[in-house]
Amino acid sequence: MLNIVLFGPPGAGKGTQSERLKDKYGLIHISTGDVFRALDPESDLAKLAKSYSDKGNLVPDEITIKILESEVSKFPDAKGVIYDGFPRTTAQAEALDAFLAIKGTSVTAMLSLVVSEEELKARLIARAEVSGRKDDADPAIIQNRIETYKKTTAPVAGFYKVQGKLSEIDGVGSIQDITERLFSAVDSL
């Protein structure tokens, strides 16, 4: 099984590139952010998740891990999965390793998109125009997401680095250029 963690800060292009990787390699694409946004807005779970995400905070691990595991379990025959926006904490990375081990598989690689903070902010502000996402619209919330990334999420790269699974990809350039960089990284796995 090809299990790829597509990593990077908010606005790095994970969603866009995941779609392309999914099509090229016949994988399932699981974005925890998309899963949260797709919940029935009237449900308690959706309201709880939104109370964190609208402020640019992470949804607690316990909830996120359960959601992720139930999403993966919907695709028992998948030949591989792209994890987009998960794991975002070291506890989530440990949970993913344990979950995949039970299934007799493991994370193949983490591909980390590298983008400067200035570029990220510009992209998120531009995205707010089309996404309608509350967390894209406010510079203070964008800043909080970036700070949370630096403090809590960036260390997850170290978790895979010690396992020899981290590959950094330049995330600046045309969408197509970045896709090609990712394809060559996957082809060399």
Catalytic residues: 14, 88, 127, 133, 145
* Other CB atoms within 10 A of residue 116 CB: 11
Apex 19 CA angle, 115 and 14, nearest 5: 20
> Which is closer to ligand ADP, CB of 47 or CB of 79?
47
Note whether 10 binds ligand ADP by CB under 6 A. yes
Site for ligand ADP contains 99 (CB under 6 A): no
Instruction: Confirm or reject binding of residue 165 to ligand ADP (CB under 6 A).
Output: no
- Least distance in Å: CB of 3 to ligand ADP? 15
CA-to-CA distance for 137 and 129, rounded, in angstroms? 8
Q: Is residue 141 at the binding interface for ligand ADP, with CB under 6 A as the rule? A: no
Burial of 41 per CB tally in 10 Å (0-12, 13-18, 19+): exposed
Instruction: Tell me: does residue 33 bind ligand ADP (CB under 6 A).
Output: yes
Q: Binding ligand ADP by CB under 6 A: which of 3, 64, 167, 179?
A: 64
> Residues 18, 24, 25, 30: what is their CA dihedral angle, to the nearest 10 degrees?
20
Distance separating alpha carbons of residues 38 and 65, to the nearest angstrom: 16
Binding residues (CB under 6 A) for ligand ADP: these are 10-11, 31-33, 36, 52-53, 56-59, 64, 85-86, 88, 92, 135, 145
